A and B are shown apart, each in its own frame.
Chain A
């Protein structure tokens, strides 16, 4: 059977985006990217992906909005409290043994995951010796992460999550409410660098003790997952930690042997000593 027209157009569109703008979505999970590009196609009033491709190539203003369809931005503070509880109770005791620490939050979206760790590290007395890197490919998300401003109506959920994660203080200590928004304390990002970095096209940039990369790998096909996990492996110190999303694992990864299961249910892995 010959390839469906829509599939051909989708491939060409992703090729065009890569060649023109160097955003590489060619190895993303097909089912979900197709779904989101159909939404974008309709949103831009295009009938086909070919029409959308024409728009993207000739109107640079289209790409930023298209990126918001191509990248899923759903996140929460202390999303999956059990994960952060395991970081707090099981990983932090190991991290305490280092005089200085680096933490990489890969695919940090609008910063929720990074602020969660910054708060947790402050509560555990590790903040002052830690440097955080928050990276993402979506510039709008990085901007929001840097601003640290969230809608106030998300706070009850964030507060519950924080408490369930074993939070030792009140979440309201870390933000001020103003004009329907919650503005997170600037000091939380005193030791944070947010920057543009793609797990698909960029290289390792630092040696870190903890990588937290949640709900990003599910959007990649297996080959890309392997590339990203390889980056994490090369970036981590011996015995460093890798935390994944609740439904992600190293089970199908080519690098599985380089890690041990540290907290199985919370998807936290530890890099092996010898490598």
Chain B
């Protein structure tokens, strides 16, 4: 479960290709993109990754070893039965998709079996969601603001969720890679 905004592509280019083939967990990603942008994220990362990368479809069941990007102009949520669902309700923090919407629904759906990752970005989106994940017993990781391209979002995440672990991007990739082994 990853949220990122300004600087997202660079950061994700470090993280996602680090996921090993056969990674046993589903990964959901919200990146702030303008609503009229055609869906490019999934295409951008498909060839760089060893796991499946696609854009989320409504009511699609989560599959292991797959990265799902929220489509532009839709919020992405996780249902309690672990299917994905989309929504066009109002933007949150001026953004649709919004990280908070995904994180909060996932916190409800997964409880402790979930890790939220907040990366670079110029927004407060994701902070509340990260807190919700931590409150539900899940793990919270924040990119070290001192090396984030735009530190606003990681800082907001740490402020809202002081128990979050601060990790430099390069180590974050390793942490994600090992998550699978623990699961």
Chain A interface residues (CB < 8 Å from chain B): 7, 29-32, 34-36, 72, 74, 215, 217-219, 221-222, 225, 245-249, 251-252
Looking at the assembled complex, report how far the CB atom of B144 sits from the nearest CB atom of chain A, in whole angstroms.
Answer: 30
B85/A29 in contact, CB under 8 A: yes
Beyond A219-B87, A247-B86, is A252–B59 a contact (Cβ under 8 Å)? Answer: yes
Distance in angstroms from A86 CB to nearest chain B CB is 16
Report A119 CB to chain B, min CB distance, Å: 21
B109 touches A31 (CB 8 A): yes
Query: What residue of chain B has the Cβ atom nearest to residue A225's Cβ?
Result: B59
Most chain A beta-carbon contacts within 10 A, residue among B78, B104, B108: B108
Shortest A163–chain B CB gap in Å is 14
Across the two chains, which residue of chain B brings its CB closest to A38? B104
Residues of B within 8 A of A222 (CB): 59, 83
**A-contacting residues, B89-147, CB 8 Å:** 89-90, 101, 104-105, 108-109
- Check A32 against B58 for contact (C-beta < 8 Å): no
Contact of A218 among B58, B90, B101 (CB under 8 A): B58
**A7 to B87 CA separation, bound complex (whole angstroms):** 20
In the bound complex, do residue B80 and residue A247 qualify as a contact, i.e. CB atoms below 8 Å apart?
no
Is the CB–CB distance between B86 and A218 below 8 Å?
yes
Would you call A35 and B57 a contact (CB within 8 A)?
A: no
Partner of B88, one of A29, A215, A251: A215
Contacts of A246 in B (CB 8 A): 71, 73
Chain A residues with CB under 8 Å of B109's CB are: 31
Query: Given A35-B105, A247-B58, A248-B58, do A218 and B80 touch, yes or no (CB 8 Å)?
Result: no
Say whether B77 faces chain A, with CB atoms less than 8 Å apart.
yes
State the Cβ distance, A141 to closest chain B Cβ, in Å: 14
B108 partner, pick from A34, A215, A221, beta carbons under 8 A? A34
Q: Which residue of A lies closest to B109 (CB)?
A: A31
Partner of B78, one of A7, A31, A36, A72: A31
Chain B residues closer than 8 Å to A35, beta-carbon distance: 77, 89, 101, 104-105
Partner of A247 from the list B71, B77, B101, B105 (CB cut-off 8 Å) is B71
- Closest beta carbon of chain A to B80's beta carbon, Å: 5
A30 lies within 8 A of B79 (CB): yes
- The chain B residues found within 8 Å of chain A, CB to CB, are 57-60, 71, 73-75, 77-80, 83, 85-90, 101, 104-105, 108-109
Given contacts A29-B87, A218-B88, A247-B74, 14 further A-B contacts (CB under 8 A): A29-B77, A31-B78, A31-B85, A32-B105, A34-B105, A72-B87, A72-B89, A74-B89, A215-B88, A218-B74, A218-B87, A247-B71, A249-B58, A251-B57
* Complex: A225 Cα to B58 Cα, angstroms: 11
Q: Which residues of A contact B57 (CB under 8 A)?
A: 247, 249, 251
Q: Closest residue of chain B to A164, judged by CB?
A: B36
CB neighbours (8 Å) of B78 from chain A are 31
Most buried by A among B58, B60, B83: B58
Alpha-carbon gap, A62 to B87, bound state (A)? 24
Given contacts A72-B89, A74-B88, A74-B89, whether A31 and B59 have CB atoms under 8 Å apart is no
16 pairs, A vs B, C-beta closer than 8 Å = A29-B79, A30-B79, A31-B105, A34-B108, A35-B77, A35-B89, A74-B88, A74-B90, A215-B88, A218-B74, A221-B79, A222-B59, A247-B58, A247-B74, A247-B86, A252-B59
Whole-angstrom CA separation of A30 from B57 in the bound complex: 16
- Which residue of B60, B88, B101, B104 contacts A72 across the interface (Cβ within 8 Å)? B88
Q: Do residues B85 and A218 form an inter-chain contact, with CB atoms below 8 A? A: yes
Q: Which residues of B contact A225 (CB under 8 A)?
A: 59
**5 nearest CB pairs, A to B:** A31-B77, A31-B105, A72-B89, A32-B87, A29-B85
A249–B101 alpha-carbon span in the complex (Å): 23
Distance of A29 Cα from B101 Cα, bound (Å): 14
Point out the residues of chain A lying under 8 angstroms from B73, CB to CB. Answer: 246
Question: How many angstroms between the C-alpha atoms of A219 and B75 in the bound complex?
Answer: 12
- In the complex, the answer to whether A30 meets B80 with C-beta atoms within 8 Å is yes
- Closest chain A residue, CB of each to CB of B58: A218
The answer to whether B89 touches A32, judged by C-beta atoms less than 8 angstroms apart, is: yes
Q: Chain B residues near A249 (CB, 8 Å)? A: 57-58
